[in-house]
């Protein structure tokens, strides 16, 4: 928890400064982009872990850090939007807007906890199988619809629901496997809609911001994770390999980007152009980096058809020597 928090805040701080001073972006653009920079993509990490059949201490840490940093990212996005909106419109005081945003975040957490415990109770009354999936989807839709009506954060509410249900409900492995099957088409839809909104003509204009975002994000992620894991005396494998696995940005990031663009329509084109360009870059490099980390640490299944025994053997021998 401490490592994820330090890395997220460090990335947010450095990327916002980099975009403001190096790329000349206004504060109301730099802050939302910096908040989005803190998000890793479980939609990249989880499939790679499943593909390689990876198991072990490092794999567990990687999945935990991905989830924790996504939760912190959502909170930072809410705060950044609250600060940026009055700066763009010249309306209400930023501190007043920030306090309202903090109230929305707190309310979203409590609402998510309430919905999740109701869901856990109802799941105990339903037999395993398709009805459990329908119940969870119904609770997600009701929860997100209610948060929209009362101006709370649907993302925070649903994140809290997922965390509580996974940890307190019984027999959730098959349930969440079914949820992932339903989510795959939705992720494809996100990619399609996001690609359709990208305006190639704006890429040269936002070129410096894209480069600053990518370079500073890589530096902040690598330095933040390495320094914090060393500070808390985590094992050498985690210190050296965790940062490269948290560079990914994909489906979750695109969804959050679309949300930010909706909340800040005055600068939506600029934010979408920078983020979608960066997502393409990180999507290309993140998958091989995550694969190589799991293989070099020897946590991929030896009998898995996609594993590379020679590479893992070398890693094991290096640890033994």
Residue with tokens 């990335």: 11
In this prediction, residue 16 has a pLDDT band, given cuts at 50, 70 and 90, of very high
Residue 318 above 70 pLDDT? no
> What mean pLDDT comes out for the span 30-58?
85
pLDDT in tens, 245-257: 888 887 678 878 8
The tens digit of pLDDT for each residue in 129-171 reads 667 778 888 888 888 888 888 888 777 888 888 878 877 777 7
Q: What is the pLDDT of residue 311?
A: 47
Residue range 269-283: average pLDDT? 87
pLDDT at 166: 76
Query: Residue 191 — very low, low, confident or very high, per pLDDT cuts 50/70/90?
Result: low
Question: In this structure, are residues 251 and 190 in contact, taking their beta carbons and an 8 Å threshold?
Answer: yes
* pLDDT confidence band for 60 (50 / 70 / 90): confident
Judged against a pLDDT cut of 60, whether residue 307 lies above it is answered with no
d(CA 51, CA 61): 17
DSSP state of 23: S
Query: Residue 264 and residue 81: Cα distance in Å, rounded?
Result: 7
Lowest mean pLDDT among 7-11, 96-100, 212-216, 282-286: 96-100
What is the DSSP code string of 167-208?
HHSSS-HHHHHHHHHHHHHHHHHHHHHHHHH--GGGTTTTHH
At 196 the pLDDT is 65
CB 296 within 8 A of CB 58: no
pLDDT band at 55; cut points 50, 70, 90: confident
Query: Which residue, 181, 170, 180, is CA-closest to 126?
Result: 170
Which span out of 147-156, 207-216, 283-292 was modeled with the highest average pLDDT?
207-216
Q: Which pLDDT belongs to residue 216?
A: 95
Residue 18: pLDDT above 60? yes
First-last CA distance in the chain: 32
Cβ neighbors of 176 (< 8 A, separation 6 or more) are 166
- Among 73, 9, 80, 75, CA closest to 41: 73
Q: Which residues contact 101 (CB under 8 A, 6 or more apart)?
A: 78, 79, 81, 82
Q: Average pLDDT of the chain?
A: 80
* Predicted pLDDT at 301: 64
Check if the beta carbon of residue 277 is closer than 8 Å to that of residue 60.
no
Q: Look at residue 53 and tell me whether its pLDDT is greater than 90.
A: no
Task: Give the Cα-Cα-Cα angle 44, 47, 52 (nearest 5 degrees).
Answer: 120
Tens of pLDDT along 218-238?
Answer: 999 999 988 988 888 888 888
Q: 235: helix, coil or strand?
A: coil
Beta-carbon contacts of residue 75 (< 8 Å; ≥ 6 apart): 105, 156
Task: Report the pLDDT value the prediction gives residue 316, as an integer from 0 to 100.
Answer: 38
pLDDT (tens digit per residue) in 107-125:
888 988 898 888 888 888 8
Domain ranges of the chain: 2-320
> Which tokens is 306 given?
């996609």
Residue with tokens 């494809």: 188
Residue 22 reports pLDDT greater than 70: yes
Tokens of 123: 């799941």
Percent of the chain with pLDDT over 90: 13
Please give the pLDDT value at position 315. Answer: 44
Q: Distance from CA of residue 109 to its chain's centroid?
A: 17
Q: Could you name the CATH architecture of 2-320?
A: Up-down Bundle (1.20)
From residue 242, alpha-carbon distances to 30, 238, 283, 294 in Å are: 26, 5, 17, 10
pTM assigned to the model? 0.79
Number of H helices, E strands in the chain: 13, 0
The tokens describing 235, both together, are: 């094992």
């Amino acid at each position: 928890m401490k490592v994820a928090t330090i890395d997220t805040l460090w990335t947010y701080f450095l990327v916002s400064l980099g975009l403001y001073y190096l790329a000349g972006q206004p504060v109301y653009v730099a802050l939302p982009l910096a908040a989005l920079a803190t998000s890793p993509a479980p939609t990249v990490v989880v499939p790679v872990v499943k593909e390689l059949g990876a198991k072990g201490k490092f794999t567990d840490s990687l999945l935990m850090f991905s989830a924790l940093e996504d939760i912190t990212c959502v909170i930072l996005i809410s705060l950044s939007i609250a600060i940026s909106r009055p700066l763009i419109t010249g309306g209400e005081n930023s501190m007043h807007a920030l306090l309202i945003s903090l109230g929305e975040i707190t309310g979203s957490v409590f609402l998510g906890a309430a919905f999740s415990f109701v869901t856990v109770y109802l799941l105990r009354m339903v037999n395993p199988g398709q009805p459990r999936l329908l119940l969870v989807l119904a609770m997600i839709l009701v929860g997100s619809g209610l948060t929209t009506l009362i101006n709370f954060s649907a993302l925070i509410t649903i994140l809290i629901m997922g965390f509580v249900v996974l940890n307190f409900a019984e027999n959730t492995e098959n349930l969440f496997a079914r949820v992932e099957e339903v989510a795959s088409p939705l992720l494809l839809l996100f990619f399609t809609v996001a690609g359709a909104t990208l305006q190639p003509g704006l890429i040269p204009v936002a070129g410096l911001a894209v480069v600053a975002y990518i370079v500073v994000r890589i530096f902040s992620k690598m330095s933040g994770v390495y320094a914090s894991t060393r500070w808390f005396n985590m094992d050498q494998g985690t210190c050296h390999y965790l940062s490269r696995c948290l560079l990914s940005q994909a489906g979750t990031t695109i969804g959050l980007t679309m949300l930010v663009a909706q909340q800040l329509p005055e600068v939506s084109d600029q934010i979408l152009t920078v983020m979608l360009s960066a997502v393409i870059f990180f999507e290309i490099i993140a998958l091989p980096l995550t694969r190589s980390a799991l293989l070099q640490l020897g946590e991929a299944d030896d009998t898995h058809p996609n594993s590379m025994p020679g590479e893992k053997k070398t890693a094991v021998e290096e640890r033994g020597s």
